[in-house]
């Protein structure tokens, strides 16, 4: 597994500071992207959290996921959460060290009271003293939130006094890319009120990996609650490794509702990812689980088709010019401004997602703009199946036999790739094992790249000078 070293540099540690008027939560930022370009320590917000105890618990839940490995537990992960200012909300995101759980806290307008919310993305320092302080936050005292240093702090310190260097695996970056593609296929499957949400979540195991050992589990809506079922049925949602929802336990006493999102289920279907969202006062906390506790998002292959086309790369470059840190990206609006079809805009957003520039909000069924503060292009450069497909093409190992058949020669093996109804199948062991459930194999991907290179793409209209994308209505 290839990895780089991610360096964080903060002016001082994040902390909860006691003041005469109450408590102040100061979240220190590292380098990140803003509309004005890259900044060493951007500042996004200064004001009050309207529900301080719930917010502190939810921030701890995001930090729990960032520090966790739910499969083959070894050393704790140590990747600081990412914060994005989208103008009308703050989003805190993290990914587990095993790449199987994605967490996001959306602090909405109703959860904030203060200055305008800035635009941009950066890391925030989360340290053990901060976690201990957050755990002691109560609801009686007001809690001031500062995301990023104030001007006095910037002028007081000559340079970073807190530095962290942690390994950043390629599969962690690929996982960030895969989740937004997979979640875009989710629909709302169940909604529980506060009492039923608490009752159901408290019945789930909290650790030990026992859920993974029993294989995939499923739940199905039953009246106002969810009941377990041993097999997938229409309307069911997969719940593999239910102990991976343990971070939600922190916020149960503040829960307003629980919503579950997932893809359509049919009898006998394979395990699938799902998103579990707890609504809080002025906030939403969402955990997205991979299809198996032993299976991270990085190998799902949902982004490979978008990565494999020059057309998507060109479209992504065009669409990126129109993004303006929107909390909700309107596909129709982008299509009108770019001159692309909605399908090509969606493929371009998928491509941008592989570079960490696009996320997906299941609650609003909409993409949002952010810029991960990592060298996220490595997610594409180091994708093993994409590298393998390009190596096959460079070696001249792919032959198009006719409109539906192709042959890929690897050493003395001949793999037959067939096109049926817009889907490619292959005679290799990967296809026999996954049947397309984890994206195309390298042979099918190579065939798709070769076929697309032989078909000229329709030209796209250039956006009007000065055009600016707008966030779409919910």
- Domain region containing 443: 384-453
Domain final residue pick, 136, 167, 198: 167
Residue 373 lies in a domain: no
* Cα–Cα separations (whole angstroms), residue 243 to 50, 65, 206, 248, 278: 30, 12, 5, 10, 16
For residues 303 and 181, the answer to whether their CB atoms sit within 8 Å is yes
For the stretch 280-313, pLDDT in tens is 999 999 999 998 888 778 655 556 666 666 677 7
* Cα–Cα separations (whole angstroms), residue 401 to 61, 405, 408, 416, 418: 53, 5, 10, 10, 10
Q: What does pTM read for this prediction?
A: 0.82
Residue 144 lies in a domain: yes
Residue 274 lies in a domain: no
Q: What is the mean pLDDT of the chain?
A: 84
Residue 360 lies in a domain: no
Residue 214 lies in a domain: no
Domain final residue pick, 167, 186, 206: 167
Residue 387 has pLDDT above 60, yes or no: yes
Domain final residue pick, 167, 198, 214: 167
Residue 356 lies in a domain: no
Residue 440 lies in a domain: yes
Q: How many domains does the chain have?
A: 2
For the stretch 171-197, pLDDT in tens is 777 777 788 888 988 999 999 999 999
Average pLDDT over residues 386-415: 90
Residue 23 lies in a domain: yes
Nearest to 45 by CA among 8, 10, 93, 83: 83
Written as one string, the DSSP assignment of 107-158 is: E-GGGEEESPP-EEEEEE---HHHHHHHHT--SSS-EEEEES--HHHHHH-S
For the stretch 337-375, pLDDT in tens is 999 999 889 888 888 887 788 999 999 999 999 988 776
């Amino acid at each position: 597994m290839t990895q780089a070293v991610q360096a964080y540099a903060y002016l001082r540690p994040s902390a909860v500071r006691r003041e005469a008027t109450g408590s102040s939560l100061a979240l220190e930022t590292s380098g990140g992207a803003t509309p004005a370009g890259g900044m060493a320590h951007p500042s996004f917000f200064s004001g009050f959290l309207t529900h301080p105890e719930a917010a502190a618990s939810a921030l701890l839940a995001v930090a729990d996921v960032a520090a966790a490995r739910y499969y083959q537990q070894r050393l704790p992960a140590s990747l600081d959460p990412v914060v994005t200012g989208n103008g009308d909300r703050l989003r805190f995101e993290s990914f587990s060290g095993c790449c199987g759980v994605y967490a996001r806290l959306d602090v909405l307008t109703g959860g904030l009271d203060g200055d305008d919310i800035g635009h941009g993305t950066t890391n925030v320092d989360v340290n053990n003293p901060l976690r201990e302080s957050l755990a002691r936050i109560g609801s009686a005292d007001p809690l001031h939130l500062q995301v990023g240093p104030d001007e006095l702090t910037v002028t007081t310190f000559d340079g970073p006094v807190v530095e962290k260097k942690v390994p950043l695996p390629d599969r962690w970056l690929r996982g960030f890319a895969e989740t937004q593609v997979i979640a875009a296929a989710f629909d709302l499957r169940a909604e529980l009120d506060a009492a039923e949400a608490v009752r159901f979540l408290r019945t789930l195991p909290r650790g030990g990996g026992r859920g993974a050992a029993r294989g995939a589990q499923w739940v199905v809506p039953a009246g106002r609650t969810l009941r377990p079922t041993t097999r997938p049925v229409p309307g069911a949602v997969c719940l593999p490794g239910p102990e991976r929802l343990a971070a939600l336990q922190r916020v149960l006493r503040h829960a307003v509702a629980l919503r579950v999102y997932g893809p359509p289920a049919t009898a006998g279907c394979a395990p699938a990812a799902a998103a579990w969202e707890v609504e809080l006062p002025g906030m939403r906390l969402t955990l997205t689980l991979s299809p198996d506790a032993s299976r991270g998002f990085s190998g799902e292959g949902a982004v490979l088709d978008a990565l494999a086309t020059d057309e998507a790369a060109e479209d992504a470059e065009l669409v990126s010019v129109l993004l303006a840190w929107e909390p909700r990206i309107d596909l129709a609006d982008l299509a009108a401004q770019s001159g692309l079809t909605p399908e090509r805009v969606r493929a371009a957003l998928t491509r941008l997602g592989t570079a960490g520039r696009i996320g997906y909000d299941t609650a609003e069924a909409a993409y949002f703009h952010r810029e991960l503060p990592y060298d996220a292009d490595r997610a594409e450069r180091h994708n093993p199946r994409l590298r393998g497909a390009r190596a096959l093409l460079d070696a001249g190992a792919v032959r198009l036999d006719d409109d539906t058949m192709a042959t890929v020669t690897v050493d003395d093996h001949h793999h037959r790739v067939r096109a049926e109804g817009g889907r490619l199948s292959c005679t290799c062991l990967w296809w026999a094992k996954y049947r397309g459930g984890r994206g195309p194999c390298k042979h099918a991907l190579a065939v798709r790249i070769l076929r697309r290179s032989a078909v000229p793409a329709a030209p796209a209209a250039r956006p009007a000078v000065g055009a600016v994308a707008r966030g779409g209505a919910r």
